[in-house]
Amino acid sequence: MTVATERVEIPLEGGGTMGGYLARPQGDATLPGVIVFMEIFGVNSHIRDVVERVAAEGYVALAPDFFHRTGPGVEYGYDEAGMAAGMKLLNALDADEMIADARAALAWLRGRADTTRKAGAMGFCIGGHMTYLTACETDVDAAASFYGGGIAAPQGMGGKPSTVSRTGKISGKILCLFGEKDALIPQDQVEKIQTALAKAGVDHEVVVYPDADHGFFCDQRATHQKAAAEDAWKRVKALFAETLS
């Protein structure tokens, strides 16, 4: 399916804008929306590719730049320099601001003439965390969190209440995808997330890939794991087909 792409500016409460990358199938159909949350490397070529892949499945897909306060428009590669630069921006994030950005992106996406009220979210690394937080703090219909780091940490970003403690507020369905070899997200943290979701009665699925490491979905990273990535993509497509149509 051919998709059309564009750079957009998303208005923020209190003034200012947040940049974003949008893709949708060509034509005039009214479609569900999907937010794609980036890693610490910005809305780079990998994230733009994911946005376009989501759009090709029949959605209006948007990747917002939630580094707009401290590094608007940055794009980093998957090397040591990119990691160091991205970590500085990661450490400056604040959960309240992240929630505000998620709400702004969701409102803007739903407010378009070419979208329905149905909306999903997905994201990777800190974007996976952002996806889980968005599921807790908005009414997205579905969420797919890929190796979301820090979800089960004692505190949220900026010292705010932990993200896992917000689990009971999730109203949609959530899919959480992890790699068993991921040293950044130990299995005890995955178990805390599983326990919180089950205790809260959230419609959920948690998948741990035995041979996968952090970043397994990204084909630009050394940790790319083809089998896990393909299975995860099938699960995401099934999730959105079930909840957003």
| Local structure of residue 94 (DSSP, 8 states) | -
The answer to whether 139 is a known catalytic residue is no
Strand partners, 209: 179
The answer to whether 176 is a known catalytic residue is no
Active-site entry in 46, 129, 204, 214 = 214
Angstrom distance (rounded) from CA 223 to CA 154: 27
Strand partners, 173: 142
Active-site entry in 182, 204, 213, 218 = 182
Yes or no: say if 243 and 172 are a contact pair by the CB < 8 Å rule.
yes
Active-site entry in 46, 68, 101, 125 = 125
Beta sheet of 31-37, edge-to-edge order: 3-11, 17-25, 60-64, 31-37, 115-124, 142-146, 173-179, 204-209
Angstrom distance (rounded) from CA 141 to CA 205: 14
Yes or no: say if 36 and 56 are a contact pair by the CB < 8 Å rule.
no
Catalytically active residues, by annotation: 125, 182, 214
